[in-house]
Chains A and B, each alone.
Chain A
Amino acid sequence: MSDDLDMLAAEYVLGTLDPAERAGFERRLAGSEPARRAVEEWSRRLGPLALASGDVEPPADMWNRIEERIASHGRTDNRVAPVVAANDDRADEFQRSARGWRRAFIAAAALAASFAVFIAHREWPGGNGLERASYVAIVGQKDGRPALIVNVDPASKSAFVIPVSAETPPGRSLELWFIGGGEKPKPMGLLGAQPVRLTLPPGARVENASLAVSVEPEGGSPTGSPTGPVIYSGQIVKS
């Protein structure tokens, strides 16, 4: 593995890549097994750091306060990315704390790791000054091992799926399902060893939704609904 790739992966997991670098690296992840492996290895290396800090329960109104503060910044700020002006101390402090919580949540999920976690990741699309939420689900086994990391972006109606430890039984296919609150599973597509961007089902609402992976005949479910055992699942949680 080249040092360059290794350090990109390390900073990707650490969360210090700038937005352009991060987007570029995610594109690279889609086609590069070494990159995907590097991310997996760095997730394992950095994950245990979360144990050192102990559990911290955020206040019940934390998300509301974060959202209010993001909204108030968004109304007055047309930046195209969550990069803060060096002299804006209030924004620095706020965005840092949001990222800190995000880091804590990611780490907790990667370790405790049964279900899903969400990431307070916000973007400022160019020009309109409104923030855009994105969501993450850690889709894993019942024993807590994460199998997929899924970035869900309602704005583009897509999900970026990064396999971590998903294993496809020989002669079968893994199929990802979107399960809206109280609704039947809707197919999103087949999974392989490589990261892939999949489209959300039409009309999908990510609030209270979850993702699941079932084992299907090669090529996918013949019925449009899961026919085999569900081996991984995880909830999409609102940022």
Chain B
Amino acid sequence: MRDCVLLAYYEGYSREELANRFGRPVNTIKTWLHRGLAALKTCLETQR
């Protein structure tokens, strides 16, 4: 999940490209992205 978010951020990967890279369906990638982003949000909020 973390790698998905970072690859999208730093390398500009689209969902389709992430799906190819990880060999998973696009919907799975979307779920990973959402979980990764939600985890990032939770992490930042608990640091406040």
Contacts and interface: CB of A to CB of B under 8 A. Distances in A.
A69 interface: no
A107 B6 CA distance: 13
B37 A103 contact: no
B14 interface: yes
A99 B18 CA distance: 14
B20 A16 contact: no
A100 B17 contact: no
A96 B18 CA distance: 11
Nearest to B44: A45
B13 A96 contact: yes
Given A7-B34, A45-B40, A45-B44, A15 B8 contact: yes
Interface in B1-39: 5-6, 8-18, 20, 33-34, 37-38
B32 to A, nearest CB: 11
Q: Is the interface of B mostly helix, strand, loop or mixed?
A: helix
Contacts of B14: 16, 18, 83-84, 96, 99
Contacts of A70: none
A46 interface: yes
Contact of B12 (A18, A49, A100): A100
A92 interface: yes
A83 B15 CA distance: 10
Contacts of A14: 5, 8-9, 33, 37
Given A7-B34, A11-B33, A14-B33, A46 B9 contact: yes
Given A92-B17, A102-B12, 8 more contacts: A14-B5, A14-B33, A15-B12, A16-B13, A45-B44, A96-B11, A99-B12, A103-B10
Interface of A: 6-7, 10-11, 14-16, 18, 45-46, 49, 53, 83-84, 86, 92, 95-104, 107
Q: What 6 A-B pairs come out closest when comparing CB atoms?
A: A99-B12, A100-B12, A10-B37, A100-B11, A16-B8, A7-B34
10 contacts: A16-B18, A45-B40, A46-B9, A49-B9, A96-B11, A96-B14, A97-B12, A99-B11, A99-B14, A100-B11
